[in-house]
Amino acid sequence: MELYNTKFKPLADKYNVPINPPEKNCRTTNAHLATIYSREKGKLKEYRNRIYKARWVEDLDIEDPETLLQLGEEVGLDSKEIKKVIDEKQYLSVLHSQRSQGKSLGIFGIPSFVIRGKIFWGVDVIEELKEEIDRVKQKLIEEQEKED
């Protein structure tokens, strides 16, 4: 609860995002598989946002297939296809590949961002991330001007 009060809640308040501390931890493999599927169907943003709300506002178990089917239907995805994705562990190799790639870059948690090999990790790095993007952008502009 201390982490919630010191990190998550202030950040949520800053960006005016509702958040409640979950009662328990849950696994997320099924949610990741369904999310990869949602990307293929052009519904990534809607589904991802719905899953976040389910987890961080409604305290739903996002590993539960029935919950994921319902959330998918709410954003216009086919629940039968989501069930098949979960039951058959479709995209599991994609998920493992993404995790391996992250580990090879030194990523150990989420959210993580990598800009030119520099890792930004955690919920409180958004301002630092923006500063780094601006710095890299300015450097690229200066390099381009030298070439011209």
Query: Where are the chain's structural domains?
Result: 2-104, 107-148
| Rounded mean pLDDT, 95-118 | 89
pLDDT at 11: 77
| Rounded mean pLDDT, 81-85 | 98
The two structure tokens encoding residue 41: 């169907």
pLDDT at 94: 96
Give φ, ψ of 119 to 5 degrees.
Answer: -95, 135
SS3 content of the chain, % helix, strand, coil (to 5): 60, 5, 30
In Å, how far from its chain's centre is CA 8? Answer: 15
| pTM metric for this prediction | 0.77
| Rounded mean pLDDT, 59-81 | 97
pLDDT band at 97 (very low <50, low <70, confident <90, very high): very high
pLDDT at 29: 95
| Rounded mean pLDDT, 48-70 | 95
Instruction: Output 94-99 pairs: Cβ under 8 A, ≥24 positions apart.
Output: 94/36, 95/29, 95/32, 95/33, 95/36
Residue ranges of alpha helices (H) inside 27-111 are 29-40, 44-56, 65-74, 79-87, 92-104
In CATH, 2-104 is 3.90.1150.10: no
Q: How far apart are CA 64 and CA 24, in angstroms?
A: 13
